[in-house]
Every structure is written in structure tokens, then in C-alpha cells.
Amino acid sequence: MGVSPFKGEVRRGMGLYDGLYYFGSIMTLYFTLNGKKTALDVAPDRRAVDVLREDCGLTGTKEGCGAGECGACTILVDGESRLSCLMLAAQLAGRKIMTIEGISNEDHLHPLQDAFIQHGAVQCGFCTPGMILSAAALLNRNPQPTRADIRTELSGNLCRCTGYQKIVDAVEATARREEGKS
Amino acid sequence: MNPYIPEIGKPVPRVDASAKATGAEKYAVDHYSDNLVWAGVRRAGVAHGRIRRVDTGAALQLPGVITVLLGRDVPGTNRQGIVHKDQPVLADEKVRHCGDAVALVVAEDRATLKKALSLIRVEIDPLPGVFTVDDALRPNAPLVHEEHPQGNVLLKATIKAGDSQAALEGCDILVEATFHVPIISHAFIETENGVAWKEEDGKVVLVVSTQAPFRDKWEISHALGLPLDRLRIIGPYLGGAFGGKDGATVQCLLVLAALHAGGRRVKMWWDREESFIAGYKRHAVRLHYRLGARSDGTLQALHCRLYYDTGAYAHLGGEVMALGMEHAGGPYRIPHTLIEGWCIYTNNPIAGAMRGFGVAQVSFAFEGMMDLLAGKLGIDPLELRLKNALRRGDRNTSGVTMTQSTGVLDCLSAVQKHPLWQERKTWKKAAGPFRKRGVGIAAVFNAMGYGRGLPDSALAKVELTTEGRIRVYSGVSDMGQGNATAFVQIAGQILCQEHIAIELVQPDTERTLPSGSAAASRTTYTYGNALIKACEELRRRLIGRTALILLSDTLDDLELLPGRVKNLLSGREIPLTALAAMMTPEDRVCISQFIMPVVRDKLDTGKEFVIGFPHLLFSYAAHLVCIEVDELTGAIDVKAYLAATEAGRILNPQAFEQQVQGAIAQGIGYALSEEVLMQEGHIVNPDFATYIIPGSLDIPEMVSLAVETYEPTGPYGMKGVGEVGMNGPLPAIAGALADACGIHMTSSPLTAERVLAALYTSPPP
């Protein structure tokens, strides 16, 4: 991800952390979250996935393994797919963060979301947000991927329900649809 | 999306897909609140031992720790279990596997919880353990449960038809082999979790990732001594389960924690490692088979001995073995069978339900035997299966007359006609250097429902709301299999309402009615049948009440249409909102019960099974797989996969394919890579870096053929399709490996390492 331009401020001393007084640091993070400029007071050593889920209420970001192996916690950091279970809160600073809640608006679903629904790519759905964000990162970089490209890109996102075929169908259909538009 | 009427037979997108794809769906794990506290468990870490002392002093002194509870603090019986109650909520005297819960901590936040768990000093005097069925069956073996009258044998059972021993001796040809399948993990992505709190009136509410909310309520009540009316269980959509959330995981622990949290919400969420260590597993099984046939390939006699390693507690072990034994002879006619089973306690993790409940294991063996027999007789393996496949009217290997839809022959015929089978010889020849190609097949089946001895029942409830909408109250969980959508389709079909006018309530013991567990491929069949009756009654009522308002002297002219009831003759109509306003609340609700039919044959054997034997209804499948084996590494690459599946009529082609494809993918994992590695009761690979489930590059493009029959007892002719696909990949891939390289492997998974070793030790074909 490179070196983060430091945009936060650190306050030393006694802080309120998870309802507990403790001696340490609380950092005010400034970052863009789903298109909105956001300032958040957090302990910088908390995991990004916890901050997003617990402090920001963005529970669409899931956690399946906590070790960077399943991809359920995938978010977009400056447009690239990243695993929020392996990121510390401080690494959000100065970044443009996109979670599943941010890729659609109230009127329109993101084309990938639409395709996942129509092509039956959602079963239990727990991997779906991460899967969609990984696919979005792929389409940003490579708008016309082959099925093999799609399988390679999604190989870091585990799904235990679908067998992946309908997920690949959905991503492929999205790429074709976008191609038709341009 | 434009409004449409969700109807039977259409590829209706899932009703839950949109909320899941936008991140809006609240799974149990997504429940947080202000003032939340966290609960966690200190695990034994010792496979077998006596608890000498648990020192909680340091943990209790840590600021932010609310309480630390031990076995003695559990009110009630402190025993969980579905059939046999032998599993403590918190260990009291002994620990019987590494994942046993020894202490429960409630703390202000996760960091404090983690710290507190590490401060608890657990002193356990280790006891010699039993880690294989052979260890456990030795005379004077250490006993996992000293009080169990049969020692380490949880259950020994026999299914018998005809005279297997005599018939085997008279057979023209006899094949014999021993198979091994390992422990595997469900590896659902949402690990076990829930949130519980005590309300002001003393009632405890639990929101939990569960397959069986109503059974949970009874289990918690029994284990914690709480009256049933003090418990409310809410079961949202699950992030996968596959059998692993069929039984108590966090339930009793969380309710116990809530009793000590002063009304605050308590959250427990096992991490992946804890899920591996403490969660349920698929049974490892050793299977000895002897199969006899005539020289023309007609099966004559079978004798099998099956040893199921059920781990430290009974859980569903006996029932899993019963279903495995019931399927041990495959979907074939074999006049003489003797099937013996031993379900054995060990100090390994607790084994229980997993998709293909006991059947996935025996499928490897009976299909492996068919391939061995075909090879020995020089008969085409598909012809051998076609020759012996069960037809309606036959007796299966448990002695049950097949009175219902029986489509295995049709599945095999569909595979036989497919280009992947027809052109296999050409395809195999095109393998590159150091590559061998093979094509394997498997015929499999899977029973549906609980079987005899336990009513497989559902209570459907449907309501016309005051807003003029239809609300279906589902009492059976949707863990991802899509039954919720099938329920909406049934309501849409009968009540002719648009999808946006139909709501679905997920299980909640105070709003929905007991409908059994999301298990045994039963949810759409059983609840669906009940819902058909409830919706038809509601339809009759809505038309009947409209007649009063529109002053119709006959019901024949009235039709229920989207949002209204219309008199087609006069053209007058009444909106459902108006109709709802004129009806009393109880008049707007219809409830109906359905109980699955059971086998009528009088059987002389299998009496050891308390519940769950035998079954009346089965789904069938024939699978074909094309693999390429790397002779230098032993790695198997799955190139193509075909499944022909018979599960009655199809209510939703998209949902049907989802079940078939997903089951194949899990089956490929079972065949090639998945194995929980044990060392003296410790799991060596409790994470996704070392326990390998298939990724998107490991699964080929799959072809699903629907072989439709009509099942007269099913809702719109359907049968369950959730499990049968799990049973095919392992035997089909093993068969393809034999076809490619001439090696019959009888231990799974077929990892590159094992295949390479077999390639080097077997004589060249």
C-alpha cells in the first residue's frame, strides 16, 4: 500500500476505549469512507475490520478467518482490494475506503450487485460483499477479463456454498454489459 | 426490478439476495449494540483428563471482567445433546476432548476478554486418551464416559436382509476392500456466534446462527434449568452451516452469560481456530466391504463393517451412523446384505451432522467396490451400475420397498448419453506428456427427512397483514440453501401476489412455529407441504370473506389477484387492504401442519436405532468427472464435471443448480484436499492456510442435468436436493484416478502426496 501520508493526530494520555479507561493513545483518523469525509477517534492498533463493523456500523464487511485467508473482509483502499482483518485502523488514514455499503446508492445497485442477484451468485451470502469488492477491483483494472482472469482474481475469496461458477457468470456478465454500454 | 409473481418452476432470484449483496442483511454476527459485553470460553487444551483446579482469581481481578463461570455455576443438568445428553456446557469433572469448555468469561470488551481468558489457570491431570476406534475398542481401553454401559461403544447396530454370509460363499466373484475417510470441517465462513440478553421480565433472548432454533430452546432449557417460556430464540439467515450448526454451539454458553450480565447484551463469536477446535466435524470412518456378484455382474451379497469415530460426545453420532448404514449398499438391488456398524467414542473432536450425513463416507466405499468389481469382471463400470440400479418396486439394501420416485437409472442414462461420456476415449488420448487422463462415474443417493421414529413435521403460518400484504412465518432456518425463496414462491403461486407484496419472517420462537431443523434435505419438502395447505386455506378465506362484502352468492366468480379480490362476472373488486381491515386478526392468519410419510415395511433389523431408520424418500444422482493426473507430482486436476440429479420436480431451476454446484465443490474438497489432521486429539491444521477448502481455481465448470420425476408426496412433486450432490465427487474422482493410472486408492483425500506414493508403489498398468 506504500507509506501512508500521515493525516491523523495522536493524543497521548488517558482515553476511553471500548468503554474502558486505559492509558495509551487515541488517534483521530481522517479518511474518506464510502465517499464521505470522515473523522474518527480510535485506538490506532485496532483492526480496520473492527472499526468498520463496530464503530462505523458497516457490518457488510464480514470476517471469516481473521488471518487473511478467506477474503470475506475485503474492502477497497484507493480502488484496490485489501483485507481489512490484516489492516490496523491507522492504515485507513488519508485513504479512500469503499465498503460494500458504499458501492451502490439508494436508487441503483452497482452492476455487479445486480448481476450477483440475477445469476444466482448469492447463497448464504457471507462471502458476497468481499467477492463483489474483489470483482470490482478487477473490473477497474481489467474491464474485459476472461473467465480464467476472473477465477484467478477471486482465488483469494473463499466461498463454501456456490462452487464459484455462478459468481464467475455474474462477473463475466457484468463485464459484457459494461462493454455493451461503451 | 419490476414486480412479478414468484411462481413455482421459475428461476426466481433469491428473496434474500439483494440484502446480502448490498451488505444490509443482518446475520447473527452483525448484531451489536451500545453497552455490549463480550463472552468467551477457555478451552481444555487437553484431550482427556480430570480437572484438578481452575483458578479464576487473577482473571476476576482484571478491571473490566464482569464474571467468570465454571461447571459448578451452571444451573440445570449442565448437559447438552440431541438424543443422548452427555455433553457438559462447562466441564465439571472431566475433559474429554481439547475443545471442551472449562470456563466462561464475560468482559467489557474483546481485549479484556482475551486477557482474562489467558489469566485463568487450569490444572488438569491428564488421562490416557483414545484417538482411534482401534484404541477405543481395545480391552481395558481408557473410557471416555465411565458411566456409559457399553464402554466406548456409543452404538452398535446391524441391518440385515437375506443371508449374506451364505450368499457370499456362493458368489461367482468376490471383491474385498477397506476404505478410510478422514475427519473434515464444515468450514462455513460465518463462524459460530450469537448475542443474548436478559429482558426486564426475566426472559432471555438469543439471536444465534443456528439450524434448529426450536430444538435449541429445549436444549438450553434442559441444560440450564430454565423454563421454556423464559427463552426466546431468533434465527436469522446463516452465513453457511452444512450441518455444523445443527446442535448447541454457543447457545447454552451465551444464555448462561446473559443470566450474569445484568440485562446487557452479551456477544460471543468463535474465531476460526476455536471453530475448528470446538465445532462439530464430519465423522472419520473405516469401512470394510465384501461384495459378491454373479459372473454377469448381478450383485448378490454384501457384508460391511463400518467404524465411525464419533469423538468425545454422542451428539448426532448414532444417527449419522444409522444413515450411513442405511446407504451402505448403494442405490442398488442386493438381495443379501449384512451391514454392521460401530459408533465409537474417542477423545477426538465431536463428530456430527454434515451435508451427506454419514452417506458421503459410505458412498466412497460402495462406489469404490463397484469400480473394483467392474474391473475384475471386465465390464464397463456404467453398465454394471445400470444393471443393478434400484427401480421403483425393488427392495433396497435395508429391506425397504421403493414405493416412491426412484430415478437413479434415469440419472445414469443421462450421463451415458452425454458427450463427456460418449467422447471420453478421444479426450483421454489427448493428455500431454507426463499427464494421464481418466473419467470416473458414481451413482449416489441420499435419504430425505428424519426417518421413522421422529415425526418430521412443520407448522406453516401465513398472514394477510393490515397493509394487504402476505407474510409467511418460516419456522425453519435458511442457512443459504434457499428454502426461504421456495416458501415465497409457494405463497406467490397459490395467493397470486407480486414478490414485493410477500414478506418472509425468519425463525423466531415467539413469532413462527416449530418446524424442525434445517437438515436432512427436508426444509422445502416438509415446510413447503405445510405452507401449501396454509396458503390454500388463506385463499379460500379471502375469497369467502370477499363474497360477504361484494354480496356474491357464489364463490365461483371470485378470484384472488395481485392486491385485490375480484368478481370476474360483475367486475367489482376489493383491495386486500380493505379486506384485511374487515377481518379479525385471527381470521387473517392460517396455520397448517404437515408430517412426512414414513416407511410401512415391517423390518426385523435396525432396531438399535432409536430414531431415524429407515427412510421412505431418496434423491438420486449420477456424477461423471474428467481428471488429469500429473505423473511428476501426483496432483489431480479436475477438468470437467457432470451431475445428473433426480430430486423430483424442480421448483426453482436456479436454486436447484446452486445446490448441485455447491455440493460438487464441497465434494471435490472432500476428495482432494480436506482433512482435519489430528495428533493425540489436537488439531494440527486449525486454519484456512493449512486446512484447504477449494478456491475458484480448484473447481471446474460444472454441468448440471436435471432428471425430473414426479414425487406425489412432495410439494409440487419435489424432493430435497441439498445433500445428494455431496456424495458423488469422492468416489467419481477415485474412479477416474483408477481409470487414468490403474491405482485404486481407498484412503482419502487423494492428495498429490498420496497419489504420487501410490504411483510409485503400484506396478505399471
Average pLDDT over residues B419-442: 98
- Preferred mutation among A124, A138, A158 to probe B, highest tally of B CBs within 10 A: A124
Quote the pLDDT of residue A14: 44
Confidence at A45, pLDDT banded by 50, 70, 90: confident
When divided into structural domains, chain B yields a total of: 3
Q: Which of B479, B488, B601 is nearest to B535 (CA)?
A: B488
Q: What single-letter DSSP state applies at residue B633? A: T
Q: Do B446 and B478 fall into the same domain?
A: no
- Whether residue B16 and residue A151 make contact (CB cut-off 8 A), yes or no, is no
Assess if residue B563 is contained within a domain. Answer: yes
- The three grid cell numbers given for residue A80, joined into one nine-digit string: 484496490
Give the nearest partner residue to A69 out of B21, B481, B687, using CB atoms. B687
Q: Determine the Cα–Cα distance for residues B673 and B678; give it in Å rounded to an integer.
A: 15
- Whether residue B189 and residue A127 make contact (CB cut-off 8 A), yes or no, is yes
- Whether residue B688 and residue A156 make contact (CB cut-off 8 A), yes or no, is no
Is there a contact between B574 and B550 (Cβ–Cβ < 8 Å)? yes
Assess if residue B193 is contained within a domain. Answer: no
pLDDT in tens, B461-513: 999 999 999 999 999 999 999 999 999 999 999 999 999 999 999 999 999 99
Quote the pLDDT of residue A6: 40
Q: Do B526 and B563 fall into the same domain?
A: yes
Alpha carbon of A85: minimum distance to chain B alpha carbons (Å) = 12
Kindly list the residues from chain B whose CB atom is less than 8 angstroms away from the CB atom of residue A19: 35, 108-109
- The three grid cell numbers given for residue B476, joined into one nine-digit string: 425453519
Q: Determine the Cα–Cα distance for residues B385 and B375; give it in Å rounded to an integer.
A: 13
φ and ψ of B646, to 5 deg: -115, 110
- Whether residue B109 and residue A117 make contact (CB cut-off 8 A), yes or no, is no
Cell 385471527 belongs to residue: B586
Kindly list the residues from chain B whose CB atom is less than 8 angstroms away from the CB atom of residue A128: 20-21
DSSP string over B580-591: HHHS-TGGGEEE
**A139, A141, B394, B513, B597 from B617: Cα distances, Å:** 46, 50, 14, 25, 9
Give the nearest partner residue to B662 out of A123, A154, A168, using CB atoms. A123
Confidence at A18, pLDDT banded by 50, 70, 90: very low
Confidence at A17, pLDDT banded by 50, 70, 90: very low
Any CB–CB contact under 8 A between A117 and chain B? yes
pLDDT in tens, B150-197: 999 999 999 999 999 999 999 999 999 999 999 999 999 999 999 999
In A, minimum Cα distance to B687 occurs at: A65
Residue type, B543: I
Any CB–CB contact under 8 A between A30 and chain B? no
Q: Do B469 and B556 fall into the same domain?
A: yes
Q: What single-letter DSSP state applies at residue B12? A: P
Alpha carbon of B173: minimum distance to chain A alpha carbons (Å) = 40
Q: Do B387 and B351 fall into the same domain?
A: yes
Quote the pLDDT of residue A181: 78
Q: Do B492 and B530 fall into the same domain?
A: yes
Quote the pLDDT of residue B610: 82
Average pLDDT over residues B437-448: 98
* Residue ranges making up the domain that contains B536: 17-26+457-595
Kindly list the residues from chain B whose CB atom is less than 8 angstroms away from the CB atom of residue A17: 109
Quote the pLDDT of residue B763: 61
Pairing of strands B502-505, B470-473: parallel
- Whether residue A120 and residue B654 make contact (CB cut-off 8 A), yes or no, is yes
For chain A positions 37-76, those within 8 Å of chain B (CB to CB) are 50, 53-54, 57-62, 64-67, 69-70, 72
Quote the pLDDT of residue A79: 96
Assess if residue B618 is contained within a domain. Answer: yes
- Helical (H) or strand (E) element with A74: strand A74-77
Strands of the sheet containing B299-311, edge to edge, are B153-161, B336-345, B299-311, B284-293, B173-181
Quote the pLDDT of residue B554: 93
- Whether residue B699 and residue A165 make contact (CB cut-off 8 A), yes or no, is yes
Is there a contact between B528 and B715 (Cβ–Cβ < 8 Å)? yes
- Whether residue A122 and residue B14 make contact (CB cut-off 8 A), yes or no, is yes
Domain endpoint, select from B224, B240, B269: B269
Kindly list the residues from chain B whose CB atom is less than 8 angstroms away from the CB atom of residue A104: 22
pLDDT in tens, B604-645: 889 999 889 999 999 999 999 999 999 999 999 999 999 999
Reduce the DSSP state of residue B285 to 3 states and report it. Answer: strand
Q: Determine the Cα–Cα distance for residues B289 and B370; give it in Å rounded to an integer.
A: 11
Neighbours of B229 (CB within 10 A): 11
Reduce the DSSP state of residue B228 to 3 states and report it. Answer: helix
Q: Do B388 and B290 fall into the same domain?
A: yes
Kindly list the residues from chain A whose CB atom is less than 8 angstroms away from the CB atom of residue B111: 18
Quote the pLDDT of residue A23: 45
Q: What is the mean pLDDT of chain B?
A: 97
Quote the pLDDT of residue A26: 86
CATH architecture of A111-181: Orthogonal Bundle (1.10)
Q: Do B80 and B101 fall into the same domain?
A: yes
Quote the pLDDT of residue A24: 58
For chain A positions 140-179, those within 8 Å of chain B (CB to CB) are 150-152, 154-168
Quote the pLDDT of residue A20: 36
Any CB–CB contact under 8 A between A82 and chain B? no
Q: Rounded to 10 degrees, what is the CA torsion of A108, A114, A117, A118? A: 130
Cell 421454556 belongs to residue: B228
CA B307 from chain centre, in angstroms, equals: 20
CATH number of the domain residue B536 falls in = 3.30.365.10
- The three grid cell numbers given for residue B714, joined into one nine-digit string: 412432495
Whether pLDDT at A179 is above 90: no
- Whether residue A163 and residue B662 make contact (CB cut-off 8 A), yes or no, is yes
Whether pLDDT at B50 is above 90: yes
- The three grid cell numbers given for residue B521, joined into one nine-digit string: 434435505
Q: Do B628 and B716 fall into the same domain?
A: yes
Kindly list the residues from chain A whose CB atom is less than 8 angstroms away from the CB atom of residue B688: 65, 67, 69-70, 158
Assess if residue B148 is contained within a domain. Answer: no
Q: What residue spans define the domains of chain A?
A: 9-61+75-102, 111-181
Cell 482475551 belongs to residue: B114
Alpha carbon of A146: minimum distance to chain B alpha carbons (Å) = 13
Q: Do B414 and B515 fall into the same domain?
A: no
Whether pLDDT at A8 is above 50: no
pLDDT in tens, B231-265: 999 999 999 999 999 999 999 999 999 999 999 99
Q: Determine the Cα–Cα distance for residues B462 and B590; give it in Å rounded to an integer.
A: 5
Which segments of A53-154 does DSSP mark as H helices, in order? 111-118, 128-141, 147-153
Quote the pLDDT of residue B611: 87
Q: Do B588 and B439 fall into the same domain?
A: no
Q: What is the 3-state secondary structure (H, E, C) of B716-755?
A: HHECCCCCHHHHCHHHHHHHHHHHHHCCCCCECCCCHHHH
In B, minimum Cα distance to A53 occurs at: B30
Alpha carbon of B18: minimum distance to chain A alpha carbons (Å) = 6
Alpha carbon of B111: minimum distance to chain A alpha carbons (Å) = 9
Q: Determine the Cα–Cα distance for residues B732 and B421; give it in Å rounded to an integer.
A: 13
Average pLDDT over residues B417-438: 98
Write the CB contacts of B761 (distance below 8 Å, at least 6 apart in sequence).
Answer: none
Cell 443448480 belongs to residue: B657
- Preferred mutation among B12, B15, B16, B20 to probe A, highest tally of A CBs within 10 A: B20
Domain endpoint, select from B269, B293, B319: B269
Give the nearest partner residue to B695 out of A122, A123, A155, using CB atoms. A155
- Whether residue A154 and residue B696 make contact (CB cut-off 8 A), yes or no, is yes
Average pLDDT over residues B29-35: 96
Q: Determine the Cα–Cα distance for residues B36 and B109; give it in Å rounded to an integer.
A: 8
Confidence at A182, pLDDT banded by 50, 70, 90: low
Kindly list the residues from chain A whose CB atom is less than 8 angstroms away from the CB atom of residue B186: 160
Q: Do B245 and B305 fall into the same domain?
A: no
- The three grid cell numbers given for residue A30, joined into one nine-digit string: 481522517
Q: Do B378 and B433 fall into the same domain?
A: yes
- Whether residue A53 and residue B32 make contact (CB cut-off 8 A), yes or no, is yes
What percent of chain A is helix, strand and coil (3-state, nearest 5)?
35, 25, 40
Kindly list the residues from chain A whose CB atom is less than 8 angstroms away from the CB atom of residue B22: 60, 100-101, 104, 109, 113
- Whether residue B696 and residue A70 make contact (CB cut-off 8 A), yes or no, is no
- Helical (H) or strand (E) element with B655: helix B653-672
**A19, B274, B380 from B297: Cα distances, Å:** 73, 49, 10
Assess if residue B702 is contained within a domain. Answer: yes
Whether pLDDT at B317 is above 80: yes
Kindly list the residues from chain B whose CB atom is less than 8 angstroms away from the CB atom of residue A71: none
Residue B128: asked if its preceding bond is cis (omega within 30°), the reply is: no
Kindly list the residues from chain A whose CB atom is less than 8 angstroms away from the CB atom of residue B238: 124
pLDDT in tens, A85-121: 999 999 999 999 999 999 998 789 999 999 999 999 9
Q: How large a percentage of chain B has pLDDT more than 90?
A: 98
Kindly list the residues from chain A whose CB atom is less than 8 angstroms away from the CB atom of residue B35: 19
ipTM above 0.90, yes or no: yes
Pairing of strands B94-95, B49-55: antiparallel
Cell 361484494 belongs to residue: B550
Is there a contact between B603 and B596 (Cβ–Cβ < 8 Å)? no
Q: What single-letter DSSP state applies at residue B715? A: G
Domain endpoint, select from B595, B628, B650: B595
Superfamily of domain A9-61+75-102: Beta-grasp domain (3.10.20.30)
Reduce the DSSP state of residue B605 to 3 states and report it. Answer: coil
- Preferred mutation among B189, B195, B639, B674 to probe A, highest tally of A CBs within 10 A: B189
pLDDT in tens, B643-678: 999 999 999 999 999 999 999 999 999 999 999 999
Reduce the DSSP state of residue B269 to 3 states and report it. Answer: strand
